[in-house]
Amino acid sequence: MKRDLLTIAAAGLVAGAASLAHAATLDDVKAKGFVQCGINTGLPGFAYKDDAGEWQGFDVDYCKALAAAVFGDASKVKYTNLTGATRFEALKSGEVDALSRNTTWTYSRDTDLALTFVGVNYYDGQGFIAKKELGVTSATELGGASICIQTGTTTELNLADFFRTNNMEYEPVPIENNEEARQNYLAGRCDAYTTDRSGLAATRAALENPSDHVILKDVISKEPLGPLVRQGDDEWADIARWTLNALILAEEYGIDSANVDQLAAGGDNPEINRMLGTEGEFGAMLRLDKDWVANVIRGVGNYGEIFDRHIGPDTAIGLDRGLNAQYKDGGILYAPPYR
């Protein structure tokens, strides 16, 4: 009996000791063999299932880029679909390693929620979509309307602020995700749906008669969307941040999936050489391979290619680069130098 007590005490001590050791996320991911990435449950253009049942999209490609950075293989990634309400807890609790789910970077999310935003991959703003037959041209005419709104988002808070400052009443119709919003909006339960304008464009593209619906011209908030990781692991945050920067820098310097192999053999441009690993030991600074950037570009292409592939002007979503063009082209995409 005394032996039983001793065993129990020993087990408790071991368990306590085990909780003291804390592995870094990069080591955990490498041990697992894949990156667990949190994505949307379904937003055309950003995260959607193709005909083969595989997840594709603007945000999904970032996850693939992260996998390519760590493993050299963009397919070593598994996805967890998260709603607006479940995404932060999943990230904080360790269920996913990174969140690429059109999430707005705000002060309180960065500080209070203990999350780390690694950059902005889409500069957006909040808007409204309404049926053309309502004859509404501006959001200020929506007094007294029913508005579908996703819970647990910044759009919810911005909506409340907008209507309060404009002294208008409204009926919020809470919904969990984009599909429910579309159903309620089409059924007439709500007069308008509000979310990021990129989401509105994606939603409208998936409707039967897109021209029957109008995206109102008002942009009522800034919505810088970007990927994020947990607080507390700076190394992993750096890897995530520089993966995004690498995508942007690659477009700035003209590296794309077609010429990456040729440029990786060595060339005249020192910045390209540093990025693709022919000069210096930059990969080792993040405990990654020398040619991690080359792997990323090989896996998913550069920022422009990703944009054009999923949400560009030639796709059903049809978004212009706008603010999301490189700074040299009139936008505000500006990544720090790779040196």
Partner 1 sequence: MAAADRADEPFRLTDIWANQRSRSLVIQIITLIVLLLAVSWIVNNTIRNLSDLGVETGYGFLWDPASYDINQHLIDYSSRSTHARAALVGFLNTALVAVTGVAFATVLGFIAGVLRLSPNWLIAKLMTVYVEATRNVPLLLQILLWYGIVVNALPHPRNAAEPVGGFFLSNRGFYLPRPLWEDGAWLIAAGLLAAVAFAIWFAGHARRVQERTGRIYPVLLVSLCVLVGAPVIAFFLAGSPVSLDWPELKGFNFVGGFAVKPEFFALWFALSLYTGAFIAEIVRGGILSVSHGQTEAAHALGLKPGRTMRLVILPQALRVIVPPLISQYLNLTKNSSLAIAVGYMDLTATIGRISLNQTGRALECMSIVLTVYLMISLLISAFMNWYNRRIRLVER
Partner 2 sequence: MDRSGHQVHEKVADMRPPITSVGWVRWLRENLFSSPLSAALTLVTAYVLYLLVPPLFGWAFLDAVWFAASREECWATGEGACWAIVTTRVDQFVYGDYPADERWRAVLAFVLLLLALVPILFDRVPGRARWLVFSLLYPLIAYVLLIGGVPGLPEVETAKFGGFLLTLVIGVTGISASLPLGILLALGRRSDLFIIRVLSVGFIEFIRGVPLITLLFVASTLLNYFLPPGTSFNLLVRVLIMVTLFSSAYLAEVIRGGLQAIPGGQYEAANSLGLSYWKSMRLIILPQALKISIPGIVNSFIALFKDTTLVIIIGMLDPLGIGKATLSDATWQGLSTEVYVFVALFFFICCFSMSRYSLYLERKLHTGH
Q: Where on the chain is the footprint of partner 2 (CB under 8 A)?
A: 15, 18-19, 22-23, 28, 41-42, 53, 78, 80-83, 86, 89-90, 93-95, 178-180, 182-183, 186-187, 206-208
Burial class (CB in 10 A: 0-12, 13-18, 19+), 132: exposed
How far is the C-alpha of 222 from the C-alpha of 219, rounded, in Å? Answer: 8
Is 81 a binding residue for partner 1 by CB under 8 A? The answer is no
| Structure tokens given for 203 | 């939603």
Q: Which does 1 bind (CB under 5 to 8 A by kind): partner 2, partner 1, none?
A: partner 1
For 125, the enclosing helix (H) or strand (E) is: strand 122-131
Structure tokens at 246: 């690498």
Q: Which is nearer to partner 1, 8 or 284 (CB)?
A: 8
Measured from the CB atom, is 102 or 178 closer to partner 2?
178
Q: Which residue's CB is nearer to partner 2, number 43 or number 68?
A: 43
Give the one entry of partner 2, partner 1, none that residue 140 binds, where binding means its C-beta sits below a cut-off of 5 to 8 angstroms depending on kind. Answer: none
**Residue number, 5 or 31, with CB nearest to partner 1:** 5
Between residues 231 and 273, which has the closer beta carbon with respect to partner 1? 231
- The H-or-E segment that residue 101 falls in is strand 98-104
Q: Collapse the DSSP code of 223 into the 3-class scheme (helix H, G, I; strand E, B; otherwise coil) and give the result.
A: strand
- Residue 159, interface with partner 1 (CB under 8 A)? yes
Which listed residue (16, 53, 268, 337) binds partner 1 by CB under 8 A? 16
Closest CA to 237 of 65, 98, 86: 98
Residue 135 near partner 1 by CB under 8 A: no
Token pair 């706008």: residue: 322
CA–CA distance, 182 with 208 (Å, rounded to integer): 11
Are the beta carbons of 46 and 198 closer than 8 angstroms?
Answer: yes
81: which strand partners? 39
- The structure tokens listed for 118 are 């690694």
Q: What residues make contact with partner 1 under the rule CB under 8 A?
A: 1-2, 4-5, 8-9, 11-12, 15-16, 19-20, 22, 84-85, 88-89, 92-93, 112-114, 134, 142-146, 151-152, 156-157, 159-161, 163-164, 170-175, 184, 187-189, 191, 230-232
